[in-house]
Amino acid sequence: MKDPVNLNRAYAIAFKEVRHIWRDPFTLGLALGLPLLMVLFFGLAMDFNVHDIHLTSYDSDHSRSSRQLLETFESSGYFLLRQEPLIGNITEPLDANQAKAVLVIPPHFGRYVVSRMDSPVQVLIDGTDNSTAGVIGGYMEGIQSAANSRLANVSVSPVVTLKPRYLFNPELNSRWFTVPGLAAVVLAIISILLTAMTVAREWENGSMELLLSTPVHPVEIILGKLAPYVVLGLSAQALIYFLARFYFGIPFMGSHVLFILGTFLFVAAYMALGLLVSVTTRQQILAMQFSMMIGMLPNILLSGFIFPIENMPAFFQYLTMLFPARWFVLVIRGCFLRGSDLAQLAVPLLAMLFMATLFVTVAVRRFKKDVEP
């Protein structure tokens, strides 16, 4: 005669858990403070748009043309110009990290320009930071054509002009790209961490044994313990959502239902991982370290949140498929920027459904095996 799973008991455990959360400022602070901090920090600090680039110029010509060229740089709005006389090594501003680029205008530059001869100007760019270097290189092309028309009245009118238009993020605002993706990292960390900690705590202080000495069913323990944290995870996502939309002004083009569904699957998958961690470690400190490792590293590196998956070697591209975060980033960017519908998000959602089911099944089995004599 087996006692069936009883929802009242699960509810009693959930209710007790809410009391723990309510009386422990750390848990609540972690669940809601961490998303707030990370989104603000990452959102404000991780700006790939480059402006105010320090540029040192050596003008050995001092002609009208050379001054016009420098003005072109200045008026572009991207550069902060500093003119210096050429003494010693031209790479010195780069060596001393005073400038990201150096502009060298040779003597007789103006004469060449006026006589419409080939008038080369050297630009040295600091290549240590290649994302900035790439952006500076891109700006140079624009400035070159501006300078041509201004200095020599040569307006280049090529036969073929490519006119790119960026869809979904017309200004290529990097925050639009990072903030929604950040949700994957933040939610993964708090889901795995809170679950691992709450179960590990019951092991550590011995209350798990007392729970198990009553007729309570392992599934009721899991349901009761996880339910409040699912709510907490969804609240954290809501917080991120409001920050993204109303603080960073990121548009939300897609369906809220899909957004919530995706979040739920993602949170469930990581909570199951947290449960696995706690079954394995049974200690809060270890559970915390494990959770940070599993929650943080693969989700930052392999989710496509920062580093494009398409650029990875084939092996890593396949590897990313094993992480729910990769699929979640697709769902979340789809919902925010693309306005994707169910058909377009079917693959990532199904992948997450599959993984969440798999993780939950494995975790529940391991937990049951662990607690049943």
Partner 1 sequence: MNKNDKEQNTSVWVKNLTVKFGSFTAVDHISFHVNSGEIFGFLGANGAGKTTTIRVLCGLLEPTSGEVRVAGLDPKKGLEAVKARVGYMSQKFTLYPDMTVDENLEFAAALHKIPSEVHKRRRAEGLEIIAFKAKTRQLVSELSGGTKQEVALVAALLHDPEILFLDEPTAGVSPVSRSRFWSIIRGLSHRGKTVFVTTHYMDEAENCGRIALMRDGRIVALDNPANLKKDTFPEPLYELTPRPGVKSDWLKNLRKDKAVLSVKPYGMRYHAIVSNARRWRELSRRMAGDFKARPIQPSLEDVFIRVVEGAK
Tokens standing for residue 344: 């377009």
CB 308, min distance to partner 1, A: 46
CB 354, min distance to partner 1, A: 34
CB 17, min distance to partner 1, A: 10
Interface mask (CB under 8 A) for partner 1, residues 179-208, using x and -? Answer: --------------------------xxx-
88 — alpha (psi -120 to 50), left (phi > 0) or beta?
A: left
Backbone angles phi, psi at 367, to 5 degrees: -65, -45
7 binds partner 1 (CB under 8 A): no
16 binds partner 1 (CB under 8 A): yes
255 binds partner 1 (CB under 8 A): no
29 binds partner 1 (CB under 8 A): no
Q: Based on CB atoms, which residue is closest to partner 1, 59 or 202?
A: 202
Footprint of partner 1 on 206-235 (CB under 8 A)? 206-207, 209-216
Residues in the chain, total: 373
* Interatomic CA distance for residues 324 and 183, integer angstroms: 13
Q: Based on CB atoms, which residue is closest to partner 1, 212 or 300?
A: 212
20 binds partner 1 (CB under 8 A): yes
Q: Based on CB atoms, which residue is closest to partner 1, 136 or 232?
A: 232
* Interatomic CA distance for residues 318 and 358, integer angstroms: 18
CB 366, min distance to partner 1, A: 17
Q: Which has the closest alpha carbon to 148: 252, 223, 65, 209?
A: 65
CB 218, min distance to partner 1, A: 12
12 binds partner 1 (CB under 8 A): yes
Using N-to-C axis directions, what is the helix angle for 174-204 and 34-45, rounded to 10°?
A: 150
Q: Based on CB atoms, which residue is closest to partner 1, 224 or 304?
A: 224
CB 48, min distance to partner 1, A: 45
CB 167, min distance to partner 1, A: 52
Put the strands of the sheet holding 122-125 in their side by side order: 79-83, 53-59, 101-105, 122-125
Which amino acid is residue 262, in one-letter code?
Answer: G
* Interatomic CA distance for residues 330 and 327, integer angstroms: 5
Q: Based on CB atoms, which residue is closest to partner 1, 2 or 163?
A: 2
Q: Based on CB atoms, which residue is closest to partner 1, 118 or 372?
A: 372
CB 16, min distance to partner 1, A: 5
8 Å CB contact between 185 and 270: no
For partner 1, how many residues bind (rule: CB under 8 A)?
Answer: 26
CB 213, min distance to partner 1, A: 4
Query: Which of these segments, 8-16, 37-45, 95-103, 331-339, binds partner 1 (CB under 8 A)?
Result: 8-16
Q: Based on CB atoms, which residue is closest to partner 1, 4 or 85?
A: 4
Q: Based on CB atoms, which residue is closest to partner 1, 170 or 206?
A: 206
Helix ranges restricted to H, the chain: 7-23, 25-28, 34-45, 64-75, 92-95, 109-114, 130-152, 174-204, 207-212, 218-242, 256-281, 284-301, 314-320, 324-333, 342-371
Distance of CA 197 to the CA centre of its chain: 25
8 Å CB contact between 331 and 305: no
Tokens standing for residue 19: 């009391």
Q: Centre a 10 Å sphere on the Cβ of residue 313 and count the other Cβ atoms it contains.
A: 8
Q: Which residues form the interface with partner 1 (CB under 8 A)?
A: 1-3, 6, 8-9, 11-12, 15-16, 19-20, 23-24, 205-207, 209-216, 373
